[in-house]
Amino acid sequence: MCGAVTADAQHFTPVSMGKYSGILGAGVNPALTAASPYTWHLNVVGVWANVHNDYLKLRMPYTVYRFIGDRIPDAYRDEKGKPVWSNAWLKERLNGSPKNVGASSIVKGPSLLVKLNKQWQVGITSSAAALARVNGVYEPLAYAFRRELDTARGAYDLFDLHRRSNTETIDPLTIHAMGFADVGLHASHRIKLQWNSFLDLGLTAKKVWGLGGASLHSDALQITKVNNDSVMLNGTDIRYREFSGNGKGEGLDLGVVYTFSKPEFRQPGGYKYHHPDYMLKLGMALMDVGRIRYRNVATTNWYNTNSIGWNLKAAENRYKNMEPGIDLAEQVLRDLPGLTTGRSNEAVGLPTRLLLHADYQYNRDFFIQAQVMQSLRGRHSTNMRHPSYLMLAPRYTRSLFEVTTPLFLEYDYKMFRAGLGMRVGPLYLGTNSLISMLSGKRMRDADFYIGIAFGNLPGSRISRAQKEAEDKTIRTKKECGSM
């Protein structure tokens, strides 16, 4: 459950909301690009990867930075001096709740933003993603797999069948993994309002190609022990879908941003120094509205409204001469009553989500941004999904340098995380789980992103520096005059 790999939550968000984010802002809210200062901005490539779970916790006897610095104590090295891995370092969180796993990888391909005039920005975007999740693993089942289904290791100690009652209720379970790629046409428009306030609108229309995947869903299942050799399954509804890489679909991102500045007659002394660009920026966006259509999807359904008896001794005698593997699995499936297989056309929804964000300018270079992302796809749906999160991030921003320290309540608001993001010239990089990754004594997730993007700001570097100096002088004079 620690090793599932593939896309989740917050992506490149911490470095995508600033004044100089350019085309990266379209991934948070397509209206954010309307205020881009670049005449053109190109994202060459960006990569993000994430893995997390709420069941197993990595508790190494030393922190990760010791491993990176090769300062691991000799007691945890073998005779050749190499670090020793111990499976005992993985600790379980047993709290009676279903377990969840997610992992993510996203590649932002070449994407370009071009300023047509003061009102319009247009561009093209491209990306590829793999998203996987496991929602609702029954805790005793996760415990059993952790112990490799070995009775000698007490793999079934948590099951009621073995210690308290004759009936076990298995939680609903969803396993979903899928990849897709998209190319989009982007446009944003700026409408000037009174007192240097603005209303920005943005849209990205995308063509999407499904790269295949699989989906398994099981409703709640009751198992009743009849005697030592027999059990009864009280109703089954299990659905499995296998998607080949021939999906086609469309997606749409829609966004609006309101940029607020106080009227001049309500600006106190020092207002221009603290809020030279704006006082507050508010935004809302609907992202990845759409779906992928697959044809000729392999389907397997096991559905019974009646109880099914299962004699364990008879099953053991029937399959004892068969070698473990695909043939044995297929034979077991053929023997199950209510099992049907076939082909059908299926639609899988994109990871649709609602984003609300605010950005407050504290002074010329310091900002405080807040964002909430709520997934509009159910955790047990057959659609792709990003977990919901809440973010608060202070940010220091200049044209060639930016640093942000985001704080997250993420993975559907279940875990607190602190990260670090930076932009140095064309390079942007960071992690949304810095403390968790550096501390090997309580690691439940890992997260990292890196990319290259650059653009052309109007005028030369010297002229921009002179303009900044002139603006600072004017602000200083106004402040002195107001005093």
Q: What is the DSSP string of 25-67?
A: GGGT-GGGGGG---SEEEEEEEEEEEEEESSEEE--SS-HHHH
Alpha-carbon gap, residue 153 to 359, rounded angstroms: 53
Q: Indicate the pairing of strand 230-243 with strand 221-227.
A: antiparallel
337 domain residue, yes or no: yes
224 domain residue, yes or no: yes
84 domain residue, yes or no: no
361 domain residue, yes or no: yes
- For every residue of 175-241, DSSP letters joined together read EEEEEEEEEEEEEEEEEE-GGG-EEEEEEEEEEEEEEEEEEEEE--EEEEEEETTEEEEEEEEEEEE
Alpha-carbon gap, residue 442 to 435, rounded angstroms: 9
- State how many domains the chain has: 1
66 domain residue, yes or no: no
Q: Which residue has the tokens 């993975």?
A: 411
* AA letter at 258: Y
Alpha-carbon gap, residue 400 to 239, rounded angstroms: 52
**Residue 57 class from Cβ within 10 Å (0-12 exposed, 13-18 middle, 19+ buried)?**
middle
Residue 408: C-alpha distances to residues 66, 119, 247, 359, 411 (Å) = 26, 34, 34, 16, 9
86 domain residue, yes or no: no
Alpha-carbon gap, residue 138 to 98, rounded angstroms: 5
350 domain residue, yes or no: yes
60 domain residue, yes or no: no
Alpha-carbon gap, residue 168 to 221, rounded angstroms: 8
Residue 391: C-alpha distances to residues 11, 241, 284, 338, 405 (Å) = 12, 35, 15, 47, 10
pLDDT tens by residue, the chain, 483 residues: 333 323 334 578 888 988 999 999 999 999 999 999 999 999 999 999 999 999 999 888 877 777 777 788 888 888 888 888 888 888 999 998 999 999 889 999 999 999 999 999 999 999 999 999 999 999 998 998 888 878 788 888 887 665 567 788 888 999 999 999 999 999 999 999 988 899 999 999 999 999 999 999 999 888 887 877 788 888 888 999 999 878 999 999 999 999 998 887 777 777 777 888 899 999 999 999 999 999 999 999 988 888 888 776 777 777 777 776 667 667 777 777 888 889 999 999 999 999 999 999 999 899 999 999 999 999 999 899 999 999 999 999 998 999 999 999 999 999 999 999 999 999 999 999 988 887 767 788 989 999 999 999 886 565 556 566 656 555 555 545 544
Domain span at 322: 13-55+93-482
